[in-house]
Amino acid sequence: MPVMKMTRRLVLASAALIGLGALPAPASAQQLEKVIYLFPAPPVLPAFGPIRLAQGKGYFKEAGLDVEFQVGRGGVDVAKQVGAGNAPLGGIVADGPIMVRGNGVPVKIVAVFGGKGFMQLVVREDSGIEKPADLKGKTISTMSYQDTTFYALLGLMASAGLTQNDVNVQQVGPVGVWQFVAEGKAQGMAGVPDWIPPVMAAGVKVKVIPTEEFFPHMAQGIAVSDQVIKEKPQMVQKFVTAALRGMKDIMDNPDKAADEFVQFVPEWKGKEAGVKFAFQMYAKSVYPGQAKLGEVNGDRLAKLQDFYLAKGFIQQKTPVNELYTNEFIK
């Protein structure tokens, strides 16, 4: 009896005849898994560059994810929404779980965009400020007294033995924080790289005082609930890996990454120089310093928690291993 050659066409036809249906489609043709990522602010800031590049350059799709962006009302709200299961993933500064887990919000950081701190002390060149001790008697703007950039500013002040009684810290909102510096109402700001270009565009010369050596703090991170980590680890792994590809693009070539970012975020068209400046700052002053790309430094997180407890920002400590996991860092 002649042997029948089992070609793919024959297998498909046979399967249809016996009611098995078609064979599984190739991976590239499979339906993408829908995922919501919650930003703490409108996703046009260069701070969100790794995520926007991962989306725009197709890294999420290559990983099998269809990512939808939504916007929360700040980092604490994002943490609460993620903890409540309203979104599987969200963006917060990586010390966020310190602030919320004690209140029953079950979130962890699964990756952090950089080994250094997010907050930059940005001062006018005519301010006379060269180091943290020079902040005494000066006016410094901050976005909010509930924002982690403010907490980092307090840590920076404490490194020089200063308290809020020594420095006039003004809470002025996300626009006022840089406008006060541009208009001369403040000598400096507790800022992030994104807020420096608008001050420079106003014709004001500024300098950035590195904060890392005075007060090590955290950069932006990806927050996920304990439940999602347990139930959908493969999805989390895919998202983290794709997002870190976007971060690496900025580290490898900030200017090229900035041009690509503007393609995906057209609000910056005509202002590409500002994005390039911000990306250069992130690549130089925020992203470096990790043993593995995206890895959370548990010792740094523990020291931050001790500082927050001493300052009364939190009432109790959380075991550090409940604040983060590096299981998705490969």
pLDDT for the residue 307: 92
Angle between helices 298-311 and 148-158 (to 10 degrees): 80
Measuring CA to CA, which residue among 220, 210, 203 is closest to residue 122? 210
**Structural domain 120-209, CATH architecture:** 3-Layer(aba) Sandwich (3.40)
pLDDT for the residue 301: 96
Q: Is 276:222 a contact under the CB 8 Å cutoff?
A: no
pLDDT for the residue 8: 38
pLDDT for the residue 73: 85
Number of H helices and number of E strands within the chain? 13, 10
Per-residue pLDDT of the chain in tens (330 residues, 90 and over written 9): 333 333 334 333 333 333 333 334 444 446 999 999 999 988 999 999 999 999 999 999 999 999 999 999 888 899 999 999 999 999 999 999 999 998 899 999 999 999 999 999 999 999 999 999 999 999 999 988 878 889 899 999 999 999 999 999 999 988 999 999 999 999 999 999 999 999 999 999 999 998 888 998 999 999 999 999 999 999 999 999 999 999 999 999 999 999 999 999 999 999 999 999 999 999 999 999 999 999 999 999 999 999 999 988 899 999 999 999 999 999
pLDDT for the residue 148: 81
pLDDT for the residue 76: 86
Q: Is 278:301 a contact under the CB 8 Å cutoff?
A: no
Residues 6+ apart with CB under 8 A from 71: 38, 39, 40, 41, 42, 43
pLDDT for the residue 24: 40
CA distance 270 to 273: 8
> Same fold for the domain at 30-115+219-322 and the one at 120-209?
yes
CA 295 to chain centroid: 13
- The domains of the chain are located at 30-115+219-322, 120-209
Measuring CA to CA, which residue among 295, 296, 285, 293 is closest to residue 320? 296
**What pTM value is reported for the model?**
0.86
Task: State the alpha helices, DSSP H only, in 190-297.
Answer: 196-201, 226-231, 233-252, 254-264, 272-281
**Structural domain 30-115+219-322, CATH architecture:** 3-Layer(aba) Sandwich (3.40)
pLDDT for the residue 311: 87
pLDDT for the residue 15: 35
